[in-house]
Amino acid sequence: MTATDPALTALSQGWCALSLLHGRIESHIERALESRHGLSVREYSLLDVLSRQHDGPGGHLQMKQVADAVVLSQSATTRLVTRLEDRGLLTRYLCATDRRGIYTDVTDAGQKLLDEARPTNDAALREALDEAAKNPELAPFVHVLEGLGVPA
């Protein structure tokens, strides 16, 4: 395969279109969450991921797992957790079976904010997808996402 290979060019164009779609969706959701709830997309994602933890086996996530889930480095995730903890939205505690392990839970205030922000996130996602579907370059990606169960 050479740099001018049509298959490589099509793949590259597809990647650019997917990246464009992601950027547009994230920007649209960011504006909506920030203006209505004072949350960034990353803060919302972190609250969402942590709210899904449970007390059963494997129910609490270690910081590396949280970082992977929100697509940030461990150090960036730790800084984000600290910011949300300072706002009273998260709390950290030591693992009962491994004193080296630190877990993070969503506080009642964090859960309340997440519950309030979820409809905003979902509506902004839907709006961004509807707008992107009008673009012939992005429409195929929107249809794939919708096929995966993105709410209509």
The pLDDT mean for the chain works out to: 91
pLDDT at residue 146 tops 60: yes
DSSP line for the chain = --TT-HHHHHHHHHHHHHHHHHHHHHHHHHHHHHHHHS--HHHHHHHHHHHT--SSTT-S--HHHHHHHHT--HHHHHHHHHHHHHTTSEEEEE-SS-TT-EEEEE-HHHHHHHHHHHHHHHHHHHHHHHHHTTSTTTHHHHHHHHHTT---
Q: Read off the pTM.
A: 0.86
pLDDT in tens, 64-87: 899 999 999 999 999 999 999 999
Which two three-digit tokens encode residue 39? Answer: 């949350």
pLDDT in tens, 23-78: 999 999 999 999 999 999 999 999 999 999 987 777 888 888 999 999 999 999 99
Question: From CA 117, how far away is CA 37, in angstroms rounded?
Answer: 6
Closest CA to 62 of 32, 100, 15, 116: 100
**CATH class of residue range 10-147:** mainly alpha
Domain ranges of the chain: 10-147
